[in-house]
């Protein structure tokens, strides 16, 4: 696995003339519009990168974008990999591993989720301050010591100083933020009414099908993380669909983009 990670990173280095991103960004469903703000230097299709998984979900483009955003050198994943697509947990986090070898010192993640906290509204931005991972853990299997410890501490995985920065930027920009715990389930089914109750009962404010594996891998490698979840639907809604999630994601992505750019500029 380590050789594959290094090989993919070396391939990318060759294609980007050694561009060194400082921040990695993973864009969730309907949230790819942030890319329009990047001063793009290089773009690489996932399909071209050795051992990279290829995204299959509608609404997820599959490419790595290198450039400047908010005055920082960044690499953005336009389209991510989900466990429900049939990838192994290790494949899901492969790009995060590769980004570490490209040099990222921080990881920003976005996703779409269903709100289980009754005070949330569709379109809210929830800063993730903790998670409950109910997707098979990507660290199961032999530990690669060069990447990180066997038993990583998950306290503080969502970096408190990045959360504080988000609060400061949101205040300046007039962006309303919610804060809460994201529960990662496998999907691909949306939750039954009782499953939404369950998520709430165990301490979840929002539920989705991504993010927790990537945060675990990043934390394993000592990368400070920041995550925002767009509340695209509510547990109390009568129904939910991928189309609703995409549409609501697109509506809220402008605010998320402003938040990310504002934060990057202050890092």
Query: Residue 181: which residues within 8 A CB-CB, separation 6 or more?
Result: 128, 129, 130, 131, 132, 203, 204, 205, 206
Q: How far is the CB of 34 from ligand HPA (least distance, A)?
A: 18
Query: Residue 65: which residues within 8 A CB-CB, separation 6 or more?
Result: 35, 38, 40, 42, 43, 75, 76, 78
Cβ proximity to ligand HPA, 101 vs 120, nearer residue: 120
Cβ proximity to ligand HPA, 132 vs 240, nearer residue: 240
Cα 14 to Cα 76, 77, 86, 122, distances in angstroms = 18, 18, 30, 43
Q: How far is the CB of 43 from ligand HPA (least distance, A)?
A: 27
Q: Is 252 in the site for ligand HPA (CB under 6 A)?
A: no
CA 140 – CA 130 distance, rounded (Å): 21
Q: Is 120 in the site for ligand HPA (CB under 6 A)?
A: no
Q: Which residue is nearest to ligand HPA (CB)?
A: 114
C-alpha 65: how far from chain center: 15
Cβ proximity to ligand HPA, 16 vs 229, nearer residue: 229
CA 233 – CA 39 distance, rounded (Å): 32
Q: Is 112 in the site for ligand HPA (CB under 6 A)?
A: yes
CA 226 – CA 182 distance, rounded (Å): 12
Q: How far is the CB of 157 from ligand HPA (least distance, A)?
A: 20
Q: How far is the CB of 122 from ligand HPA (least distance, A)?
A: 10
Of residues 49, 92, 99, 245, which one binds ligand HPA by CB under 6 A? 245
CA 25 – CA 53 distance, rounded (Å): 17
Lay out the site mask for ligand HPA across 38-77 (x = CB under 6 A, - = otherwise): ----------------------------------------
Q: Is 114 in the site for ligand HPA (CB under 6 A)?
A: yes
CA 267 – CA 162 distance, rounded (Å): 9
Burial status of residue 147 (CB atoms within 10 A of its CB: 0-12, 13-18, 19 or more):
middle
Of residues 124, 191, 205, 253, which one binds ligand HPA by CB under 6 A? 191
Cβ proximity to ligand HPA, 78 vs 211, nearer residue: 211
Lay out the site mask for ligand HPA across 195-224 (x = CB under 6 A, - = otherwise): ------------xxx---------------
CB 151 within 8 A of CB 68: no
Q: Is 166 in the site for ligand HPA (CB under 6 A)?
A: no
CB 104 within 8 A of CB 66: no
Q: How far is the CB of 15 from ligand HPA (least distance, A)?
A: 32
| Region 91-110 residues binding ligand HPA, contact defined as CB under 6 A | none
Angle at Cα 209 formed by Cα 104 and Cα 138, nearest 5°? Answer: 55
Size of the site for ligand HPA (CB under 6 A): 12
Residues forming the site for ligand HPA (CB under 6 A): 112-114, 190-191, 207-209, 232-233, 240, 245
């Amino acid at each position: 696995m380590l050789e594959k990670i290094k090989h993919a990173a070396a391939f990318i280095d060759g294609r980007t003339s050694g561009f060194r991103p400082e921040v990695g960004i993973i864009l969730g469903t309907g949230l790819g519009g942030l890319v329009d703000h990047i001063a793009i230097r290089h773009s690489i299709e996932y399909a071209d990168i050795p051992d990279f998984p290829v995204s299959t979900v509608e609404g997820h483009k599959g490419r790595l974008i290198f450039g400047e955003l908010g005055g920082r050198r960044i690499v953005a994943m336009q389209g991510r990999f989900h466990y429900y697509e049939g990838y192994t947990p290790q494949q899901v986090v492969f790009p995060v591993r590769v980004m570490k070898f490209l040099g990222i010192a921080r990881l920003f993640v976005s996703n779409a989720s269903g709100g289980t906290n009754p005070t949330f509204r569709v379109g809210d931005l929830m800063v993730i301050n903790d998670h409950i991972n109910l997707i098979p853990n990507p660290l199961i299997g032999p530990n690669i010591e060069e990447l990180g410890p066997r038993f990583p501490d998950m306290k503080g995985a969502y970096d408190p100083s990045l959360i504080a920065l988000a609060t400061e930027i949101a205040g300046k920009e007039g962006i309303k933020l919610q804060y809460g715990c994201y529960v990662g389930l496998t999907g691909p089914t949306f939750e039954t009414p009782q499953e939404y109750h369950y998520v709430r009962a165990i301490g979840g404010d929002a539920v989705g099908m991504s993010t927790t594996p990537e945060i675990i891998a990043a934390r394993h490698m000592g990368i400070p993380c920041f995550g925002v979840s767009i509340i695209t639907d509510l547990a109390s809604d009568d129904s939910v669909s991928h189309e609703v999630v995409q549409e609501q994601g697109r509506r809220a992505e402008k605010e998320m983009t402003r938040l990310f750019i504002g934060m990057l500029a202050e890092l």
